[in-house]
Amino acid sequence: MAPAGDAQAFLAALAAGADAVYLGLKHFSARMQAENFSISQLSRLANLAHDRGVRVYVTMNTLLKPGDPEPAGRLLDRLNRLVRPDALIVQDLGMVNLARQTGFSGELHLSTLANLSHAAALRSAADLGAQRVVLPRELNLDEIKELAAACPENLDLELFVHGALCYCVSGRCWWSSFLGGKSGLRGRCVQPCRRLYRQGGPKNRPERLFSCQDLSLDVLTRTLLDVPKVRAWKIEGRKKGPHYVYYTVKAYRLLRDEGHTPEARKAAQGILEQALGRPGTHAGFLPQRPRQPVERGADTSSGLFLGALQREQTKAVGKPGPKSGGRPGGHGPLRIHFETREELLPGDLLRLGYEDEPWHRTIKVRQRVPKRGRLDVKPERGVQAPPAGAKVFLVDRREPELARAMAELERLAAGGGPEPGEGASTFAPRMPQPAPRQRPGLRSLSRSLTKGRMEGEPALWLEPKALHTLPPRMAGRIQWWLPPVIWPGEEARYVEDIATLRRKGARDFVCNAPWQAALFDKREGLVLTAGPFCNIANALALEELRKMGFAAAYASPELPAEDLLALPRQSPLPLHLVLKGLWPLGLSRHLAEGVRVEEPLASPMREVFWVRKHGQNHWVYPNWELDLSAHRAEIEKAGYATLLIIREFWPKTIPHSERQGQFNWNLKLL
């Protein structure tokens, strides 16, 4: 299953023999930095793919805001009528609702952003009407087999086998958004995890403490051939060029079809080395031999390293100017160049430096440069010149054979599709009836009852410590919160803990993924609330939660003020909101060797972060709280039923920042 961020990558996927291509539209795609596709362009390409027996999957996998259902529904209506893709990949329950309302004719696939990470979640997905679930990239082979064995008959599984790894669990990262409104859940992530961070004093060298290598299962994918229900090997890379797409598809087709021979396995690995990705890792795929995907001192940039830049300050030619003080000579233009380790072809794309460096840019090669030849790099006006030693990478290229194959496919795809604007949609979604307003209340969420005063009604994270320190007959007075991620090996323990609490009288539970509702076998007498980690941001998603048996829900605190204040008037469920407390930048199953928990980490902007471990997950926090207390009157007037205060204990080593933590309250979430 090949990625396509533009038409050229789509054609490269077909030329390489992909069985399916997944891609995004100009809107509502979780890779908005890619060029993506218009309806008219995609119609022609989809016809070409279907003629060749290749399936087309469209990602509409972003978080939907309160005003999004109508334009998203019209786009989906046009997509279904004019393109008829084989499947729609979604994360937001509101998009599931829109797919039903528009009569979408293809399959429904739940994105890895939807975070279905344990067996009961798969049953919930099947009940929702999904035909496929994209599994998290953090799972090992034993966990994949466990989920496959528990997978309902009418549901398939899809698994990433190659491409970029995010540091945080998909759907559980607000890092980019919390630092400035560029939401990964909306496809706008600026990848703060790729930056340099320092742990310890200023004398310590900054390192890439959160930047993962690329996932590359290569020959290990053979172990998946016998795993039932795993129907698709997925290659990540909708921001990559056609060269990457072509070579990765070629390699994994060879491994699938002929990988039983040593010669084919060796050949496939050689092909992958030409794909211009980051250094590869198996990560945690092998449970008996897990690898840490974050190597703090390693180079995690994509592309093939070509050489380091050199700088020459030439001498001025001609009469001395006023800047030389009347002396002959003076400075001429700055010359920047490097000696390439590989032959360069016209059309090759090179990247100077790393994306978080001010001189970073991409340049196109205009003429052939032989191996060990010299390429001059012209400084750009208004852009800082790169320093000597800055690295140069080959990130995309156009081999003549691939270019010819793509040109022939492009000729076949020309014409026949709808014109731009043709088939305009008049679709208007049916919105749910808003729930009656409730009198606002206050609740405090903690990990223990033993420390500090709790404001309002008490809530506890469902953790062993909380259960062991619980006073007799208190279970029924507390709201119990499940974690944002439950891994396969943890599910049985949570089912047992829930049963224990229910025997003690507990009836009020918060699920921090919609699919966690499937952990409750009998619902009679229960009150289930969808927590803030469910990323709920529109009325149609809330309607789906109501159908799933939820009695209330928390709005995503990621929304800006305009949307947060509008949502209660549209919600079919009583709506709650996080008012104050430590909100994580993200949750990860990884931690680089040598990174110490509960000690400060400094960003390039001198922001301070820290990591705390809960269960199998590492929670990354900033040293400032989310705090909307100044807007409490507005929030209560808007109709929120409960305001939540999250209580986490600060490590003594972490300084408190005076930064105002209002998330996106004053920003416009794109």
The answer to whether 195 and 604 have CB atoms below 8 angstroms apart is: yes
Edge to edge, what strands does the sheet with 617-622 contain? 198-199, 601-602, 608-614, 617-622, 586-588
- Model pLDDT for residues 224-238, shown as the tens digit of each residue: 999 999 999 999 999
Question: What whole-number distance in Å separates Cα of residue 510 and Cα of residue 662?
Answer: 24
The mean pLDDT value for 73-85 works out to 96
The answer to whether 83 and 105 have CB atoms below 8 angstroms apart is: no
Domains of the chain: 2-165+213-290 (3.20.20.70), 304-400 (no CATH), 441-583+625-646 (3.20.20.60)
| pLDDT over 60 at 460, yes or no | yes
pLDDT of residue 664: 96
pLDDT of residue 655: 93
Question: What whole-number distance in Å separates Cα of residue 554 and Cα of residue 578?
Answer: 8
For tokens 């900033």, the residue is 622
pLDDT of residue 324: 45
The mean pLDDT value for 60-89 works out to 96
Give me the sign of the Cα torsion angle 537, 538, 541, 542: positive
pLDDT of residue 330: 58
Question: What whole-number distance in Å separates Cα of residue 189 and Cα of residue 62?
Answer: 12
Q: Return the beta strands (E) in 356-482 as ranges.
A: 361-364, 374-377, 391-396, 441-446, 457-461, 479-481
- Which residue type does 391 have? K
Question: What whole-number distance in Å separates Cα of residue 198 and Cα of residue 607?
Answer: 11
Higher pLDDT, 428 or 417: 428
**607: helix, strand or coil:** coil
pLDDT of residue 316: 64
Question: What whole-number distance in Å separates Cα of residue 248 and Cα of residue 269?
Answer: 10
Q: Rounded mean pLDDT of the chain?
A: 92
- Which range has the worst mean pLDDT, 32-36, 165-169, 475-479? 32-36
- Model pLDDT for residues 485-501, shown as the tens digit of each residue: 999 999 999 999 999 99
pLDDT of residue 325: 45
| pLDDT over 50 at 187, yes or no | yes
Half-sphere exposure (CA, 13 Å, Cβ side) for 158?
22
- The dihedrals phi and psi of 545, each to the nearest 5 degrees, come to -60, -40
- Which residue type does 235 have? I
pLDDT of residue 360: 87
Q: pLDDT-derived band of residue 421, with 50, 70 and 90 as boundaries?
A: low
The answer to whether 268 and 274 have CB atoms below 8 angstroms apart is: no
The mean pLDDT value for 18-38 works out to 85
The mean pLDDT value for 58-79 works out to 96
| pLDDT over 70 at 452, yes or no | no
Q: pLDDT-derived band of residue 628, with 50, 70 and 90 as boundaries?
A: very high
pLDDT of residue 332: 65
Question: What whole-number distance in Å separates Cα of residue 503 and Cα of residue 188?
Answer: 45
Question: What percent of the chain has a predicted confidence (pLDDT) above 90?
Answer: 76
Residues 6+ apart with CB under 8 A from 521: none
Selection from 315, 338, 335 nearest residue 327 by Cα = 315
- The dihedrals phi and psi of 365, each to the nearest 5 degrees, come to -75, 130
DSSP 3-state percent helix, strand, coil across the chain (nearest 5): 30, 20, 50
Question: What percent of the chain has a predicted confidence (pLDDT) above 70?
Answer: 95
- Which range has the worst mean pLDDT, 22-26, 297-301, 350-354, 640-644? 297-301
The answer to whether 237 and 18 have CB atoms below 8 angstroms apart is: no
Intra-chain end-to-end CA distance of the chain, in Å: 29
The answer to whether 395 and 350 have CB atoms below 8 angstroms apart is: yes
Q: What is the DSSP string of 491-537?
A: HHHHHHHHHHHHHTT--EEEESSGGGGGG-S--TT-EEEE-GGG---
For tokens 């039983």, the residue is 260
- Compute, in degrees rounded to 10, the torsion defined by CA atoms 380, 383, 385, 386: -110
Give me the sign of the Cα torsion angle 380, 384, 385, 386: negative
- Model pLDDT for residues 361-412, shown as the tens digit of each residue: 899 999 999 999 999 998 888 788 899 999 999 988 878 889 899 999 999 9
**199: helix, strand or coil:** strand
Q: pLDDT-derived band of residue 419, with 50, 70 and 90 as boundaries?
A: low
Question: What whole-number distance in Å separates Cα of residue 147 and Cα of residue 141?
Answer: 10
What's the angle, vertex CA 221, arms to CA 220 and CA 227, rounded to 5? 115
**636: helix, strand or coil:** helix
- Which residue type does 639 have? G
Half-sphere exposure (CA, 13 Å, Cβ side) for 261?
7
| Cβ atoms within 10 Å of 479's Cβ, excluding its own | 20
pLDDT of residue 47: 95
140, containing H or E segment: none
Write the burial class of residue 415 (CB in 10 Å: 0-12 exposed, 13-18 middle, 19+ buried).
Answer: exposed
pLDDT of residue 237: 92
The mean pLDDT value for 558-576 works out to 97
- Model pLDDT for residues 279-293, shown as the tens digit of each residue: 899 999 999 999 999
- Model pLDDT for residues 84-114, shown as the tens digit of each residue: 999 999 999 999 999 999 999 999 999 999 9
